[in-house]
Amino acid sequence: MSQMKRKMLPALAVATTLAGFSGAVHAADPWVVEANDSEIEFKGTQLGAEFEGEFKSFTAEIVFSPDDLAGSSVEVLIDIASVDTENGDRDSQIVSPDWFDAAQWPTAKFATKSFSEIAPGKYEAVADLTIRDVTREVTLPFDLEIKGNEAEAKGTVTINRTDFGVGQGQWADTSQVGDPVTIEIEIEAKRP
C-alpha cells in the first residue's frame, strides 16, 4: 500500500464516521400524534360576542427535529365536518356552501414550508394553509417541549376568514360575523 493511501485511509474513516454520526443525530424524527390529548380550536365573533369551537377530527404527518429544521415537515388535514361550537345551528351553517362548503371541500390543509428557531423552545413555522379552494401562506409561532420520546407543541395564529372565501354572499360582510379568527393548536406526540 502506498504511503499516500495509508495517510488517506484514517482521514476517510474519520470523515465517514462523522458523516454517519451527524446524520443519526440530526435527522428529523417521525412523530405520532396523541389524538385524545391534542386539539385544534378557534375563536371568532358573532354579533360582537366571542364564540369558541374546535375541529374534533384531524390527521397529522409530523417529521421534526430541532437539530434538523430543514429536514422537518408537518402536514395536517382537518375534517371540516367535525366542527363543534356547542351550537347545532352554527355548526350546520359552518359546513354549508356559504361558509366552508364541507361537501365540496371536506378538509382544510396545513403544510409547512420552513421552520425557524426564535429562542430556545420557541419556533415559527411558515406554512401553506388551504381552506375551501384558497391557499395562503401563514406564519405559526409555537412553543415546543420535548422530553425523551414525548413532545408537546402549543401555537396560535390569527387569520381573516374572508381571505379564504369563508363567508359567501351576505356573509362576506363582517358586521355580523367578524373577519379575524384565532386558531389555537395544542399537539401532543410521541416517537413511534
The model's pLDDT over 107-120, given as tens digits with 9 standing for 90+, comes to 999 999 999 999 99
Mean pLDDT of the chain: 88
Long-range pairs, 99-108, Cβ under 8 A, ≥24: 99/166, 99/167, 99/168, 99/171, 100/131, 100/132, 100/166, 101/132, 104/132, 105/80, 105/131, 105/132, 105/133, 106/79, 106/80, 106/81, 107/77, 107/78, 107/79, 107/80, 108/77, 108/78, 108/80
Q: Does domain 27-190 have CATH number 2.40.70.10?
A: no
pLDDT of residue 27: 79
Whether the model clears a pTM of 0.95, i.e. scores above it, the answer is no
